Structures are given as structure tokens and as C-alpha cells.
Amino acid sequence: MVRRILLGSQLRRLRESRGVTREAAGYSIRASESKISRMELGRVSFKARDVADLLTLYGVTDEAEREPLLNLARESSIAGWWHSYSDVLPAWFQTYVGLEGAAAEIHTYEVQFVHGLLQTEGYAHAVVASGHKTRMSEEEIDRRVALRMERQKLLLGENAPQFRCVLDEAALRRPFGSRAIMDAQLRHLAEFSERPNVTLQVVPFELGGHPAESGAFTLLRFPEPEIPDVVYLEQLTGSLYLDKAEDVAQYAQVLDRLVESSLSPARTRDHLHKVRQLA
């Protein structure tokens, strides 16, 4: 997904610098103007042959300039690791997993439960099992949990992103699974929050109302300047991605205000231990 966005933005820049219309570009690869628009937005897959023809049209004939872009086209068609979980991974969530894996910074606010990147296996199993109206087989539950555990490796890698998670206290108090599962989850949060790339803060009940009245959201930032920040909103049967600067800016402001109002990381760890004692 990110490779497609990056390649699309480069092709748009080249087309505009040459004064070529989308209609003319589409004609050169036997496609419509709308297909060129979708390519430049990274919303469709790329054929190396089409990219090669477009580069020729845009006057990019030097192999040293063409090859990196052709490599991007080839790499953009390579399936990510998560495609092996396509039997339990909704198509609309595959896009998010790809973006999450490419982000340099992940900022999120959660209300209902602990964020998936911070869940223990036992807690994740309880969440998955309780979150569906139709009864799932143990095999399907295990596959969904395995996917979640695989995603968590993102935070442990050499090039791990910076991860800031603001949790509503309701997520700590709402029990999923047994008392032992909740205790292990709270302990895991306290321990994981010590990692240098992880910042965990809790919005306590006593704060009362706060700016994130619209609910949970995730803000992703990428290392490539050509790729805009993205806000991800998850719904019951799909998801919404916001990348307009004014929309993203509003969510970023809400997040900043949440961070200011929340317990500090150190006080959050103390609060986690307090909740464990009261449970």
C-alpha cells in the first residue's frame, strides 16, 4: 500500500512537470483518465510494463532513474505477511495492517479495550471470542489471535516505530476473560510501557469530559515526506481513512490535548498497579 502511494506520487510529479494530461497518460497505456488518477493516488496495483511506458512518455529514459521506480512497481505487487491470514482478515483491515507496518509513528486513543499491539495472548483470545455475534470455531479464534500476536512484532524490531497509546480508564476496568487474564494484561502494559519506543498514558475517570468525544482513532505518520499522515477510524463493517490535511490536523490537536490531560507515563504505571490491586 505504501509503495503504491509512493510510486503514484512520483508518477504524478513527473506527469505534471512534463505538462501531460491524465487523459494523454491513460491513452499511452490503453487505460482511462480515471485509472491514471487511481494509480497516482496509490489505490490500484501497478504493472511494470505500464510504469515503463509512462516513464518513457514523461521523458525518463536514463536507466539509473527508471530502475528505482520500476522496482517500486514490482515490490508493490508483493503480498505482505498478513495475506496468509486472509481467511480471517477482512479486506478493509488489510490496508490498515500494511500502513501500520510502514509507519514511523503510531499514535492511538482507545476506549473499549487495550490496543491490539499491547494485548496479551489470553486477553486477545477473550476479546476476539466476545466480539462476534456468530459463534466462531476455536480454530478461527486462534487464527485471529495469531494474527494479532504477529502484528505485535512490529514494536520489537530493529526499526520499530514510535508508539504512543492513550487508553481510557474504561479499557482497564472492563474485564475480558478471567481475573488472572486481566491481571496479566495490566502487568504486561506496565512492563511494555518501559520500552523506549512506547509511550503509554491513561485518561482517568476523574478527568470527566475530554476532547476525544467521537471515540477511538489512530494517527499514522510515515518516514517518506511524499506520504501524508493518515487517520484511521474503525467501524462495525468497515473503516475510514482520512488524509486531508485539515482533517488530520483536527485529530492531531485532539490527541495533543488528550496527552496533556492524561496521567504521565510514570503515573500511568503507578495507576496500572493500583488497578491490579483493586481488581
Structural domain spans, the chain:
2-75, 86-278
pTM: 0.81
The percent helix, strand, coil of the chain (3-state, each to 5) is 55, 10, 30
Domains 2-75 and 86-278 share a fold: no
CB atoms under 10 Å from CB of 214, counted, come to 11
CA 193 to chain centre: 19
Q: What is the DSSP string of 57-119?
A: HTT---HHHHHHHHHHHHHTTSPPGGGGGTTTS-HHHHHHHHHHHH-SEEEEEESSS--GGG-
Do residues 192 and 184 make contact, with C-beta atoms less than 8 angstroms apart?
A: no
3-state SS assignment for residue 170:
helix
Measured CA to CA in angstroms, residue 131 lies from 116, 180, 186, 253 at distances of 13, 20, 20, 31
The set of cell numbers assigned to 123 is 486477553
Per-residue pLDDT of the chain (279 residues; tens, 9 = 90+): 778 887 888 898 899 999 999 999 999 999 999 999 988 888 788 899 999 999 999 999 999 889 988 888 888 777 788 888 988 888 888 888 888 988 999 999 999 999 999 999 999 999 999 876 567 889 999 999 999 999 999 999 888 999 999 999 999 999 999 999 999 999 999 999 999 999 999 999 887 777 777 789 999 999 878 788 899 999 877 888 888 899 999 999 999 999 999 999 999 999 999 999 886
Q: Which residues contact 141 (CB under 8 A, 6 or more apart)?
A: 125, 128, 129
Instruction: Quote the pLDDT of residue 134.
Output: 65
Q: Which CATH superfamily is domain 2-75 in?
A: lambda repressor-like DNA-binding domains (1.10.260.40)
Contact 215, 183 (CB under 8 A): no
Strand runs labelled E in 152-278: 162-168, 198-203, 217-221, 230-234, 239-242
Q: Which CATH architecture has domain 86-278?
A: 2-Layer Sandwich (3.30)
Q: Tell me which DSSP letter residue 128 carries.
A: H
Residue 133: per-residue pLDDT: 56
Q: How many residues does the chain have?
A: 279
What is the distance of C-alpha 57 from the center of its chain?
35
